[in-house]
Amino acid sequence: MLKVYNYNQLSATEIQKLTLRNTDAGNEIRETVENILANVKQNGDVALREYALQFDKVTLDNLFTDENELAKLTERVSDEQKEAIKTAYQNIYKFHKTQFRQEEKVETMPGVTCWRELRPIEKVGLYIPGGTAVLPSTFLMLGIPAKIAGCKEIVVCSPPQKDGKINPFIAFVAQLLGVKEVFLVGGAQAVAAMAYGTESIPKVDKIFGPGNQYVTKAKTIIQSTTVTAIDMPAGPSEVLIIADESANPVFVAADLLAQAEHGVDSQSVLVSTSQQLIDETIAELEKQLPILPRSEITKKAIANSYAVFTADLLEAMDFSNQYAPEHLILATDNWKLITEKIINAGSVFLGNLTPESAGDYASGTNHTLPTSAYARAYSGVSVDSFVKKITFQHLTSEGIKSIGKTVEILAELEGLQAHKNAVSVRT
Amino acid sequence: MLKVYNYNQLSATEIQKLTLRNTDAGNEIRETVENILANVKQNGDVALREYALQFDKVTLDNLFTDENELAKLTERVSDEQKEAIKTAYQNIYKFHKTQFRQEEKVETMPGVTCWRELRPIEKVGLYIPGGTAVLPSTFLMLGIPAKIAGCKEIVVCSPPQKDGKINPFIAFVAQLLGVKEVFLVGGAQAVAAMAYGTESIPKVDKIFGPGNQYVTKAKTIIQSTTVTAIDMPAGPSEVLIIADESANPVFVAADLLAQAEHGVDSQSVLVSTSQQLIDETIAELEKQLPILPRSEITKKAIANSYAVFTADLLEAMDFSNQYAPEHLILATDNWKLITEKIINAGSVFLGNLTPESAGDYASGTNHTLPTSAYARAYSGVSVDSFVKKITFQHLTSEGIKSIGKTVEILAELEGLQAHKNAVSVRT
């Protein structure tokens, strides 16, 4: 069921191969996506209506669901569901709120003062997937930091459901966030609409959100050909669990399966110092998997997964850092001993009582995270992703005197006389 | 000399056209760059030596300058120059040091604790341009935050000079930073080498640094096709100066020229509430420009520049926010009245005694900044650019009880049963 490797018997090349994920899987669909982008750029709303008919099988009168319709749709959400969404909202808000912090001024030389100020990105676009799985949690994860940052315009796109309307849970989150309309557009065409603007949909400065390979390819093309930024490239979701003999195989198996049910290309990796734990976890997988509603998908993802046996936790951490997982679970009572050794990971779940699904929904951390080893250089989405940090500097007459000579010499040695003059005329 | 527009007579379309910069200027060179990337990926050092001969006109024995050679080269740097570089180093260090700050833990619910920890990006690649202009200041601006972040491996590439060695100022900065070797590679091939790795040059996780259009195109291709990140896409440099009647036309002209001398595609924009200031600045440009060593380049850049007359400072700021300048100078004694209105800018220079060149070299702020309106969504380089912020969460047994029900309901409504199970098995 789960392939098992022995870390000490793996060559560097084999480890590299095991930790490799395809980061440009969608390259064969580039042309299709480029055509969609070009069509939306040129034909705007007309193209969007065509794609709604072609891909979502609905004829749309309006390309958006307005405030009144949103309110009506929320009637389909039960009180218990509303409470759960509100609790998640509060936790996510509480944690992200601490990320918005103005910084202090620094006097680097007498009369030379420097600092940074946070400014919201004015116009942001949130893409909320809504094909086979509708993800209101993603809307919370993107909408809350956008509100905290103070973004002036929050444009939201999500594919229309079969009834030509937006999903009721999405509608309820929109209400909580104070978002007054949701655009009924999905896929690469949604990314195109927010990057170029159409008659109905405003052009934005940065596009956020996960999606299928068409959405991701569209985002990376937009990022490299226009001034519109993206949050990060996103590949299939993944988890790496480091477990020792203190771990519970029932919990470990449940966590591996939670990851695997996302999609057939998801990956669940177990790295353990205990051969017994590996064996018992595999036995548990065989028990828990068949009774899952998404067992077909999950089974394929598990076939795409593996376990690695290591001599100790440090070796396990070594493998994990090479893998650079989106989600890292430390299923050990000894997690305090190894957290400092974490170099590459998106979000970390500490100890045997912290399942990844807590962070997926409600612990407070963000679930929009770097996959496919992007965690080597990227962080997950946070309030930082919705602001710019602008540097400021002010020189007094004392300041220009303190720094003047230094600037003149440096400009001179780089051969930039006009740079030197800009100081000289002032001193 | 400088075209002058009246803001109130400009239509929205005209303003949009004025603020537009070409963000994909290098698209016609895409094929050339893709060939270079493929060649380096396949042939490694052999390809790098070929390009050194072809582009830099030197035959290289070693692809790097080592510690001993670096030390020898620094003998060509005068004591005065060394002092100036050290002063800049100290100021940049002092300001950037404050950006490295661990964050506090947040208890979002009883027993549910979340926080972020900073981790350096392990392997970073710095590209230091060294063609017609050699820029040791850029090496300071990238190397200092990399050191503060604690990056384990700092790979530096810069084109070889005519003597087949590295520029002595670059060598001196390397010494200050404790960088033990500098690779003699420039252009798109340097980006390729750091993205894919060669026999001599290590593969890195993120590539930083400005460069010509080949370098920039290589960076954007790497970003969209590999897991290697880049700092930001970089276009030609630019300044926007907001000036009122309190500004000094001699200073304003000097600042416009300092920007213009960078390259023929640089842009210097003056936005002023005073027609007299505009006239006097143009007269000053005619005085100062002809005597510059780089007057030919500067003249062409000024021809590519313009002035806008506005009714008041708020209107001026409005234009500036639409332009989203890399450098924004507030040449007015009233700068305190308008800094809050700044939405989009890379770095801001406040008052009549703060020239851009102070920030280019030594005030302490970073000079690697978003150009071409990327300031709408991007920030300049900082310590943030060299770290990941990894989220952590820990649940106690009280924690999993507090949050369990919420997670179960949310997993259920998204149709993800295994996500729900991961909680249920624990409660």
B320: phi then psi, degrees, rounded to nearest 5: -60, -45
DSSP B53: I
Domain boundaries, chain B: 3-22+236-354, 28-234, 396-424
d(CA A336, CA B209): 37
Summarize the confidence of residues B27-50 as an average pLDDT: 94
Q: Is B276 exposed, middle or buried (0-12, 13-18, 19+ CB in 10 A)?
A: exposed
Would you say B392 and A426 are in contact if contact means Cβ atoms under 8 Å apart?
Answer: no
What are the structure tokens assigned to B82, written together?
Answer: 């060394």
Q: What is the pLDDT of residue B26?
A: 62
Residue B218 above 70 pLDDT? Answer: yes
Contact A422 B356 (CB under 8 A): yes
Element spanning B117, H or E: strand B112-120
Contact A403 B358 (CB under 8 A): yes
CA distance, residue B423 to nearest chain A CA (Å): 7
DSSP codes of every residue in B133-202: SB-HHHHHHHHHHHHHHT-SEEEEE----TTSS--HHHHHHHHHHT---EE---HHHHHHHHHH--SSS-
Q: What is the pLDDT of residue A233?
A: 87
Active site residue B326: yes
- Annotated ligand binding at A419? The verdict is yes
Residue type, B88: A
Strands (E), A260-414: 267-272, 306-309, 327-331, 347-350, 387-395
pLDDT in tens, A184-205: 999 999 999 999 999 999 999 9
Q: Bridge partners of A114? A: A106, A393
Contacts with B261 from chain A: Cβ below 8 Å: 416-419
pLDDT in tens, B341-372: 999 999 999 999 999 999 999 999 999 999 99
> Residue A243's closest CA among A256, A252, A254?
A252
**Which option is the CATH number for B28-234: 3.40.50.1820, 3.40.50.10880, 3.40.50.1980, 2.60.120.650?**
3.40.50.1980
> Residue A418's closest CA among B138, B283, B253?
B253
Contacts with A90 from chain B: Cβ below 8 Å: 108
d(CA A2, CA B422): 19
What are the structure tokens assigned to B362, written together?
Answer: 């030594």
Q: What is the pLDDT of residue B235?
A: 80
Instruction: Please report the ipTM that was assigned to this predicted complex.
Output: 0.96
Residue type, B413: L
Nearest CA in chain A to B406: A84
- The beta-carbon neighbor of A376 closest among B122, B348, B423 is B122
Q: What is the pLDDT of residue B25?
A: 60
**Separation in Å, CA A168 to CA A52, A69, A362, B13, B337:** 19, 10, 19, 39, 46
Contact A419 B360 (CB under 8 A): yes
Q: How many CB pairs under 8 A join A and B?
A: 417
In the predicted model, residues of chain A with pLDDT beneath 50 are none
Query: What's the Rg (C-alpha) of chain A?
Result: 25
CATH superfamily to which B3-22+236-354 belongs:
Nitrogenase molybdenum iron protein domain (3.40.50.1980)
Q: What is the pLDDT of residue B212?
A: 85
Contact B254 A136 (CB under 8 A): no
Contacts with B103 from chain A: Cβ below 8 Å: 98-99
SS3 at position B392: strand
**SS3 sequence, A329-344?**
EEECCCHHHCHHHCCC
What are the structure tokens assigned to B382, written together?
Answer: 């900082």
d(CA B268, CA B302): 7
> Residue B137's closest CA among B188, B209, B204?
B209
Domain B3-22+236-354 shares a fold with domain B28-234: yes
Which residue do the tokens 């790979």 mark? B155
Contacts with A221 from chain B: Cβ below 8 Å: 224
Contact B416 A261 (CB under 8 A): yes
Contact B23 A226 (CB under 8 A): yes
DSSP A309: E
Contact A363 B396 (CB under 8 A): no
Nearest CA in chain B to A389: B379
Strands (E), B52-109: 64-65, 106-109
B183: phi then psi, degrees, rounded to nearest 5: -85, 140
Q: Bridge partners of A330? A: A242, A350
Q: What is the pLDDT of residue B92?
A: 98
- The beta-carbon neighbor of A393 closest among B260, B349, B421 is B349
Summarize the confidence of residues B106-127 as an average pLDDT: 98
Angle A309-A14-A318 from CA coordinates, rounded to 5°: 50
A15: phi then psi, degrees, rounded to nearest 5: -65, -45
Residue B419 above 80 pLDDT? Answer: yes
Contacts with B348 from chain A: Cβ below 8 Å: 390-393
d(CA A42, CA A46): 9
End-to-end CA distance of chain B: 76
Nearest CA in chain A to B106: A95
- Annotated ligand binding at B262? The verdict is yes
> Residue B316's closest CA among B3, B1, B60, B5?
B5
Angle A90-A93-A98 from CA coordinates, rounded to 5°: 135
- The beta-carbon neighbor of B363 closest among A169, A339, A403 is A403
Query: What's the Rg (C-alpha) of chain B?
Result: 25
CA distance, residue A135 to nearest chain B CA (Å): 6
What are the structure tokens assigned to A191, written together?
Answer: 């990314």
pLDDT in tens, B168-201: 999 999 999 999 999 999 999 999 999 999 999 9
